[in-house]
Chains A and B, each alone.
Chain A
Amino acid sequence: MDWCRLKEDRESRLKQGDAYRIEKKLVAAKDTGRLLEAVIRPGDRVCLEGNNQKQADFLAEKLCRVNQEKVRDLHLVQSAVAMDSHIKLLEKGIAKKIDFSYSGPQAAKLAELVQKGKMELGSIHTYLELFGRYFMDLIPRVALVAAVEADREGNLYTGFNTEDTPVVVEATHFKQGIVIAQVNRVVDRLPRVDIPGDWIDYVVEAPRPFYVEPLFTRDPALITEAQILRAMMAIKGIYAEYGVQRLNHGIGFDTAAIELLLPTYGEQLGLKGKICSYFALNPHPTLIPAIESGWVTGIHCFGGELGMEEYIRNRPDIFFVGPDGTLRSNRAMSQTAGHYACDMFIGSTLQIDEEGNSSTATASRIAGFGGAPNMGCDARGRRHASEAWLKCGEEDGMRRETLGHMPRGRRLVVQMQDTFREKMVPGFVEELDAWNLQKTAHLPIPPVMIYGDDLTHIVTETGIAYLHKCTSLEERTAAIRAVAGYTPVGRKAEREKTKELRRRGIVKTPEDLGIDVSDANRSLLAAKSIRELVEWSKGLYHPPVRFKTW
């Protein structure tokens, strides 16, 4: 019995790859394609690092141009299908199968490939699920990762965007796989070591820096009064009501509005120190005014955000930074914090159905999940208590039927929703498009971002529905209809039922919350433009040119 086949296989691959070494672990950029051909075998499971922010784009492009006699039928296992090159790999047949988490900009092309039968779709995961499978049944044989700098021994400095690199490299390297890193620069001495050199087999200095998307920057100038109203309702009716101290914010304008209302409206309500002390969050520029006003104690980041480098360097008490002063982000750790250490998730979505299930899927796009479902759910394994968690659990209207008398808390899972989005597309629907996508993409289940039984609150301009207080599924549907405005779902609301739900505090309108709708205007925003964010940061925030309007 040979117990060392993986190791032998690794050694035989390295033997071929080593032909391209020029110095220690360095391989010249021009030899990248040949290196890939030397160490990758047909049918290999390959992880191309990339997520909704940084991308190992140079290695991905080189992989697209390999000799298909030597490299083909790969099984891609990776966080994101984000680049044109990822799609090209599948189109050309260099890869034939993919397991992934998020696809954002390539969602439509991915759906097209699946429909044409050009590729095999494994599963669509959340980040944490996929990371988990990297250590079980989806272990990468070869990983292609990205870092800012490397030295000749292969030590990596990932800088601001550490993100997925540690988890990818750990899974690959310790199961005898091969790790190749593209770096922006090879240097003699790194500012700090994020990945030890003996976990890395080859380093390629890419001709241009890896691509990073500033995905979490929201221009305050684009925040609408409807968003401000919902933000006021959420702060007063949820944050204050439950004393939410540890949380994650989604990516949209609704939560950006909340961030910008903390130093103004939140201050008026006397909530400073009582809510929003800790975040699992990318470094949102819109959080700068709250940080500067002393609201925030700590933030752990999934990834970085372009332009926030110098600001974070100067606020080391708030963020996680290395001895060199730059942010240390880590997606796996931050997702863990988001799942187990947060009392609330709040975000927004495209569609919510009458049972409270929500989805960002449309029939022609396979967008994936990213990280939201691991935060937008009740963490059933959680055992420590907090005020917000306990209160939400106590209010659970169906607790007696399911659990009996044992006290148990519950995470707040909140969706902020426009009743109608742009072009009068309804935000509440009788049937999610996810059902359609399930059919067209042959998925085992409709892709649901947040399930109805995990959702505790919906905030619309009509009101807040406290769904977890409902005593039956039927009542939950009535509560959803009550806040769904003039959508087909909302028009089914019955006047008397809604009145009763308001009386029992399951539905609260702005009036019930003591909010005057006419107070919801842009003058409440602590910063009304990107430029004012720069002023708040005392010139430490440097917005990317696409957001810099001066």
Chain B
Amino acid sequence: MSRQSFLGATARERAAGLTDAGTFQELAGPRDRLTSPHLPVLGEAVSFDDGIVTGVGMVRQHPVFVISQEGRFIGGAVGEVGGAKMVGIFQLALAEYEEWKSHGAQEDCRPAVIISFETGGVRLHEANAGLLAHAEVMDQIQCCRGKVPVLGLIGSKVGCFGGMGFVAAAVDVIVMSPEGRLGLTGPEVIEQEIGKEEFDSADKSLISRTTGGKHKYLMRDCNVLVPDSIEAFRQAIGDILEKPYEEMEKCRRIGSPALVKEQLDVAEWLADLAPSDARDVWKAMGNPMAEEYPDMDVEEFLTHAVRRRRGEQ
């Protein structure tokens, strides 16, 4: 197997594979046994990494601080310890930034943070502690602005939903594979709350069209679309970090009054369009081959894809 699937990999395999070979050093790993204090109280099993792999490695010249969520442990839900590990990585990255600045601030060595999302959001067992973790991570992302680029990577089985969907929206650049899923309220919850007529969560094809990488790329919620391989994600990270920092800033979806207005305009445009399926939206944006998009591989899709225009529709 020459190209390892991102989708099928574990969080630890992703963390190691997203950085250059042999450079990844796990920090606060399983040997440190940082486990949730809340789960044993409820009689639930703990994981020695609390479902999040954290560490640092290199991508080309850049020190890259890595957060990789593991969906196999409680669906990647974020609790107190996992959240603290995430925050710790941001703090290390910001400390490294100060070092970098005081040593000449060479652009090709600027530190970065990458988050591989695989989560449904807050770990309900930990309620407020989990929510607080989300808020702290958001806060750290804000602290990084103008200093350390934050990249979100989504191509895992669980995808990125719930509170972590908000966190993903706040990063600078989002890289997805078509297999990645991004949203706020997950498909099952939509069906449960509003009904099967609104959203049939058993229809995997519908979920893909509505939350998958191709749709998010067309809608500009995702900046870069890559095939499902760890290597392709690593390549994309390297290519993004080659760009001037200002270019990465421009990838943001939120973070300025102009961007907020743009998002509100999109919402209004969609409400007027009243689509019955994501394909209706793609067609309205100028994609006559929309029906064939789901079956296309990434390369072919990208040659046809017409994305949402920036500013007004």
Chain A residues near B (Cβ < 8 Å): 221, 424, 522-523, 528-529, 545-550
Contact = CB atoms under 8 A, between A and B. Distances in A.
Given A221-B157, A523-B1, A549 B8 contact: no
Contacts of A522: 8
A424 B295 CA distance: 39
Given A221-B157, A545-B204, A545-B206, A550 B294 contact: yes
22 contacts: A221-B7, A221-B157, A522-B8, A523-B1, A528-B5, A528-B8, A529-B7, A545-B202, A545-B205, A545-B206, A546-B203, A546-B204, A547-B204, A549-B204, A549-B205, A549-B207, A549-B208, A550-B178, A550-B205, A550-B208, A550-B294, A550-B295
Given A221-B157, A523-B1, A546 B8 contact: no
A221 B205 contact: no
A548 B205 contact: yes
A545 B204 CA distance: 6
Interface string B190-230: 00000000000011111110001000000000000000000
Contacts of A424: 45
Contacts of B5: 528
**Most A CB atoms within 10 A — which of B5, B8, B295?**
B8
Given A546-B203, A550-B295, 15 more contacts: A221-B8, A221-B157, A424-B45, A528-B5, A545-B203, A546-B202, A546-B204, A547-B204, A548-B204, A548-B208, A549-B179, A549-B207, A550-B178, A550-B205, A550-B294
Give the interface size class of chain B: 10 to 19
Contacts of A549: 179, 204-205, 207-208
**Most B CB atoms within 10 A — which of A424, A529, A545?**
A545
B16 to A, nearest CB: 15
A549 B209 CA distance: 9
Chain A facing B: main interface SS? loop
Contacts of A546: 202-204
Contacts of B208: 548-550
Contacts of B203: 545-546
Interface in B90-138: none
Given A221-B157, A545-B204, A545-B205, A550 B8 contact: no
Given A221-B8, A221-B157, A522-B8, A550 B212 contact: yes
The 7 residue pairs across chains A and B that have the minimum distance between CB atoms: A548-B205, A545-B205, A546-B202, A545-B203, A549-B204, A523-B1, A550-B294
A515 B286 CA distance: 55
Contacts of A547: 204
B33 to A, nearest CB: 20
Nearest to A224: B72
B178 to A, nearest CB: 6
A523 B1 CA distance: 7
Contacts of B1: 523
A296 B1 CA distance: 25
Nearest to B294: A550
